Structure 1
Amino acid sequence: MDKTKILVVEDQTIVALNIRNRLKNLGYAVPSAVGSGKEAIREAELTNVDIVLMDIMLKGDMDGIEAARIIKSRFGIPIIYLTACTDFETLERAKLTDPEGYISKPFKEEDLCKNIETALLKSRSKKKKSESF
């Protein structure tokens, strides 16, 4: 079976590299890491990833919540927020995108892995249900 492909959306290069390395150590493939919402949308379309790890605060005029909304609506790719933004208002905005997870930074690899596997299971289950109709 192919490795799960994860798009990392993080505007801080060092943090993105750390996340990428940790994901690879967990056995996932990371075809791309980008730092803006527009790049995230483009990469989601081009790389056929299984899941997106999305920071909320990004470079450019589009935040991660808006990018997540577009990615989910256009491509149906599951989104997990991996962010330092934990205030109530931001959480409420993020919930409107129906994310599969919301992980606060700093994070533990165990939490990351559990959220990814749960999100993939839910996504596959949704696909099977829609294919059966």
Structure 2
Amino acid sequence: MNFTNPSILIVDDEWLIAFNLQLSLQRLGYKIAGTARTADEALEMAERTNPDLILMDIRIEGELDGIQAAEKIQKKLDIPVIFMTAFADEETF
């Protein structure tokens, strides 16, 4: 992990949430590797940019959810993932 200028990949299918998160993180000095809306986009972007960290929404568009996307990324790349969700139900915990 690059501790002096860490890069973060944001994975969220809600454009406004991803955009606000990106702005907040950039203000704090983090480099944004990119934003993705689906598992396929996240995997492609992670392979291309090799971020230091991935912020992954649990519920994203597409065939795979955020947890499945993270598992797929972890099989190929050793990148830590922090999960986030707007839902507070038993399914997301």
The reply to whether TM is greater than 0.5 is: yes
Matched, 1:33 2:56: no
SS in 2 for 1:59: coil
- Paired-residue identity, %: 40
**CA contact 1:7–1:31 (8 Å) conserved in 2:** yes
**CA contact 2:11–2:54 (8 Å) conserved in 1:** yes
Residue 90 of structure 1, CA deviation: 2.7
Matched, 1:6 2:3: no
Q: Which runs of 5+ in 1 are unaligned?
A: 92-133
Q: Which has the higher helix share?
A: 1
Root-mean-square deviation (CA, aligned residues, Å) is 1.3
Residue 13 of structure 1, CA deviation: 0.8
Instruction: List structure 1 segments (4+ residues) > 3 angstroms apart after TM superposition.
Output: none
1:84 corresponding residue in structure 2: 86
The residue identity in structure 1 corresponding to 2:74 is K
Matching residue within 15, 18, 21 for 2:17:
15
**CA contact 2:85–2:92 (8 Å) conserved in 1:** no
2:56 corresponding residue in structure 1: 54
- Inter-partner Cα distance in structure 2 for 1:73 and 1:19: 26
- Inter-partner Cα distance in structure 2 for 1:58 and 1:48: 21
The residue identity in structure 1 corresponding to 2:75 is S
SS in 2 for 1:60: coil
Residue 2 of structure 1, CA deviation: 4.4
TM-score (norm 2): 0.90
